[in-house]
Chains A and B, each alone.
Chain A
Amino acid sequence: MSEEHEIIQQVCAAKQDNQAADRLIEQYLPFIKSETAGYIKKFPRKDWDDELSIAMFAFHQAVLSYERYRGAFLPFAARVIRNSLIDYDRKEQRHRRNLSLDVPEEEDDTALIEKLDTGHDEIGERQFRTEAAEEISHFVRQLSEFDLSLTDIAENCPKQHRTLEACQRVLNYARAEPEIFALLLQTRKLPVSRLSKGADVDKKTLERHRKYLVAILLAYTNGFEIIRGHLRQIAPGSRKGGRTA
């Protein structure tokens, strides 16, 4: 009884704090593995089986969506994990007949991908990844100055197309008025009224997605070429949401 009470407290703490959530998942990794093994009928390896990653993500979702009235946490989490594994299994069913590039062959224990010439510039990709990681690290530091984390921004991200389009209109307006970026960096505040008037977006929409807008506007300030380049792959005007600034 006390153990159940303790886990509920941990879950409640994990809902508020991302670090606590990570700790809880590490603590209950054996439980997650056991649930995964019950579904895939073999013991999952952490660095190998995708199912274990899916089960860990499902456990995290269970932590976020758990409410006390739903009963005991662990049976609830077990059900969420099982449902996620079924979804994943169904999604992957279409690829079941294809050969996996990552699975090692029985003869020489080397993966198929290592034998094939995929045309990828491995060194170039690794270099890009390193540079991107550095830039992202800098971006995260900049965000922390606004008391924001990427997880917060992901939670605050618009879910609907219409809202996303409204946010993109704000971004396009800001790109046409460069002093808005300077104002944002200087005051550490989002000029909601000016953006609302300029982009013709409701103030409430801006307030509701303030964290996301700060992040996306920050990405368009100097020093984040890779992130901007990634976003530039959807050139303004080429999609519904992208309007020319």
Chain B
Amino acid sequence: MKYLVMECHPAYAVVLAEDGRFLRVANMRYQVGQQLDDVFGLEQPKAATVVIWKKAAEIAAAAACFCLVVLGMWQMVLVPCGTVRMQINPDVAITVNRLDYVTAVDGLNEDGKQVVQGYSTAFKKLDTVTDQLADRAVEMGYLQDGGRITLTVESDSEKWKTATEERLLLELEIHFDNRIVIEVTPSGKDSASDYSGQEIIIPVPLPDVSDSGAGKDVQGSDDADDVFEQDGDDGWEDDRKADDDRYEENDDSQDKVGKQDDDDGDDRLESDKDDNEEDDLDEDKDDDNEEDDLDEDKDDDKDDDDETGESEDD
């Protein structure tokens, strides 16, 4: 870029740049009409790319700050810190964030759904929500004096859990003036009920007379017992009775198989003995029946003897 000196002052000179700009620059002993290759004190117009990059950097920084704020807010407000389960008869789960504000209430059974229906948790703290839900339960007739509220607090933070349990216990006791029994159960105790809505089907093959089939059958019944303990399904008992009936029909063969297994020293069956107490009981019954049979045989023998005695007497 060349510059033409247009005017000289003691402190500065006015030059005309090739691109048509008139500029004020430091006067290094210039003369009017002189052509220059370089000048000092020139404020170069900023290149568009630099401006774009600066703008882009500013926007990116602002976006990053915004994201950080949103993430922070999301962590603080929306991410649940723990859950409080309130069981009256209505069963309600209350989800709480880090700020101790309630983010959601869910009815876990039909009554619970009725209690939380139309209830807004916006900007409400946990204490307020538990009090209000308990009041709603009273209004709807689910809770009366002398009733019981069971609280279960679940959280990854043990500290929060303990503090919340103590606080809610105190809060509800004060709220109901000890007219209601408040009970806190440790979390995890009732976890099996989480599976209440699920249906688990385990095929149980009919017991075979053969050795291997009997072994499989016994094992299948063990699994079924485990499921029964978790499931609490009443229908399972009927199935079990039907199985037991089948077992009774084939008790002779089972006894034989059981004896053979015992002789073979089958560890699996031995370990399952505790679980098959009822089967054992059935076996005991079978043994009793055998003894009865023996007694009857003895009686028959006695009768025979009496008859022979009579005949001898005769």
Contact = CB atoms under 8 A, between A and B. Distances in A.
Interface SS of chain B: loop
Contacts of A130: 33
Contacts of B48: 161-162
A26 B33 contact: no
B21 A164 contact: yes
A216 interface: yes
A215 to B, nearest CB: 7
A130 B28 CA distance: 19
Contacts of A25: 10-11
A30 B201 CA distance: 104
5 contacts: A47-B29, A57-B41, A150-B6, A161-B45, A241-B20
Give the most central of B7, B11, B12, B46: most A CB within 10 Å.
Answer: B11
Range for the number of chain B residues in contact with chain A: 20 to 34
A231 B16 contact: yes
Of the candidates B24, B28, B46, the one having the most CB atoms from chain A within 10 angstroms of its own CB is B24
Interface string B4-34: 1011011110101011111111111101111
Given A91-B40, A241-B19, A151 B33 contact: no
A161 B47 CA distance: 8
A11 to B, nearest CB: 13
* Candidate in A149, A157, A227 with the most chain B CB atoms within 10 angstroms: A157
B124 interface: no
A227 B19 contact: no
A239 B40 contact: no
A157 B33 contact: no
Contact of A60 (B12, B43, B45): B12
Contacts, number: 121
Given A57-B27, A129-B34, A151-B7, A215 B22 contact: yes
Interface SS, A side: helix
B268 interface: no
Contacts of B14: 150-151, 153-154
B2 interface: yes
B27 A56 contact: yes
Contacts of A22: 9-11
A230 B11 contact: no
A128 B18 CA distance: 17
A150 B11 contact: no
A142 to B, nearest CB: 13
